[in-house]
Structure formats: C-alpha cells, structure tokens
C-alpha cells in the first residue's frame, strides 16, 4: 500500500485565490511527521511546513497552513493568496518513528497559478 | 538558507564512464541522503548515512555507491554509467535528534547518459 497518496496530479488556481493540495498517509506508528516541499522547475526542493503527529495545533508558516485531520490520516496543504511564483510541484512526505529521519514521498501535485 | 552544495549541476556523458556526483554541506549535519528522481515523479531514497563511516542502502535499489569519510562530504559514484542511470540526483542533509528537523536539499544534479 502507498504510504503517501497525493491524488491530484495537477491543480489550477488564479492569482490571489487560496488552494488546497491533498495528502493522505498510511502508518501504524503513533509517532510520525509530515512534511511539505515545493519543487520549482529548476529542480531544488524547498521545505515549506512540518506537522508532528502529537502536535496539538495545525502548523502554519506564512501563507502556508496544514489542515491536519489525524483520524482521517490527511495532511492537506493550504496556500492562501496564491502568487505566480507558487507555480511548482508540491510533494508531501512522511517520516515514521522518532529515530532516523528517512522520508517517504508522494507522487506530487503540479500547481499552476494563472494571472 | 540551507548550505548544501551539489556539483555538477548538469552532466551529459557517454556510456561506460565512471561518474562521481559531489555533495557537501556546511551545517555540521550528521545525517545525509541521496535521492533519485525521474522527471515529474516522486523522490526515491537510494542511500543514506548516519554519520562518518556509516552508509546504508535506501528503498530503491541502485548500482551507485557512496562514501562518508568526512561529516560534510557525501559523494555518490557510478562505476560504469548506463542510459538507465539518466535521472536527477538530489542530495540532502538533516540534523537534530527529534525528527522535526526537515531535510535540506541541494539543487540536484541532472545526469544524462548517452
């Protein structure tokens, strides 16, 4: 079974609108962490936001927030007030356990922001 | 800004050549990783290291090898390149013990084997 599932191959949003990128995960470990990364066409991976399984509040970082629904095993990324520079691939990733920080990545969602 | 560097950024080379992809970080991170990524696809972990003289194979089988003689340096070597090795290779590092620390990535090496 896929550990990380991103069901949206591509998403379109207009500038200044909000967009939600979906991510569901599968783990039996009670301790885990979820990361979102942005990959522009230039290829580098840029860390956006982190949510720990024991965190009481949903993570926020500037225009990025994470809609964490533990019972549904979902960790959707919300980007508010989209900008043209947000056009990129977005990857959800999971770390299981508290030890070594090995990440498993989803297949990604390509976001295109139009003027 | 994370300080992790990969060279070369792009490499086009013929079949059968020996290749070394360089990765260095200046953050003193003990953990380092190599990922392979085909265009538009997910990242697959091919190697990782807990620290000096520690290397492990990742989830995706790879014909490449790695070494970790110094904390800051984690090169990846292909002894005899083949067209099937054409891909992007991303190096990352992370520190801390609590697992909240993100992996910091280099800009990647886009490798094309003719």
Chain B residue whose CA is closest to A44? B107
User: B51-57, long-range: CB within 8 Å, 24+ apart, which pairs?
Assistant: none
Contact A33 B99 (CB under 8 A): yes
Residues comprising chain B, all counted: 114
pLDDT digits (tens, 9 = 90+) for A36-84: 999 999 999 999 999 999 998 999 999 999 999 999 999 999 999 999 9
Contact B50 A103 (CB under 8 A): no
The pLDDT value given to residue A98:
66
Instruction: Give the CA diameter of chain B.
Output: 43
Contact A34, A91 (CB under 8 A): no
Q: Give the whole-angstrom CA distance, residue B25 versus residue B73.
A: 7
In terms of Cα–Cα distance, which of A109, A104, A110, A111 is closest to A4? A104
Average pLDDT on B65-80 reads: 96
Q: Give the whole-angstrom CA distance, residue B107 versus residue B84.
A: 21
In 3-state terms, what secondary structure has residue A81?
coil
To the nearest whole percent, how much of chain A has pLDDT over 90? 84
């Amino acid at each position: 079974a896929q550990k990380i599932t991103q069901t949206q191959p591509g998403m379109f949003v207009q500038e200044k609108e909000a967009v939600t990128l979906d991510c569901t995960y599968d783990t039996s470990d009670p301790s885990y962490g979820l990361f979102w990364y942005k990959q522009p066409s230039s290829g580098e991976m840029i860390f956006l936001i982190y949510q720990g399984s024991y965190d009481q509040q949903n993570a926020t970082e500037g225009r990025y927030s994470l809609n964490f629904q533990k019972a549904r095993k979902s960790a959707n990324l919300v980007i508010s007030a989209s900008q043209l520079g947000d056009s990129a691939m977005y990857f959800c990733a999971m770390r299981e356990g508290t030890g070594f920080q090995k990440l498993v990545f989803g297949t990604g969602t390509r976001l295109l922001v139009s003027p | 800004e994370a300080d992790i560097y990969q060279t070369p950024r792009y490499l086009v080379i013929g079949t059968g050549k020996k290749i070394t992809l360089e990765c260095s970080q200046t953050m003193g991170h003990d953990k380092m990783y190599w990922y392979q990524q085909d265009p538009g696809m997910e990242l697959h972990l091919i190697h990782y290291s807990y620290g000096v003289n520690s290397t492990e194979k990742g989830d995706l089988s790879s014909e490449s090898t790695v070494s970790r003689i110094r904390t800051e340096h984690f090169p990846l070597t292909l002894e005899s390149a083949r067209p099937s090795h054409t891909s992007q290779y991303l190096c990352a590092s992370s520190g801390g013990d609590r697992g909240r620390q993100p992996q910091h990535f280099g800009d990647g090496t886009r490798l094309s084997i003719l």
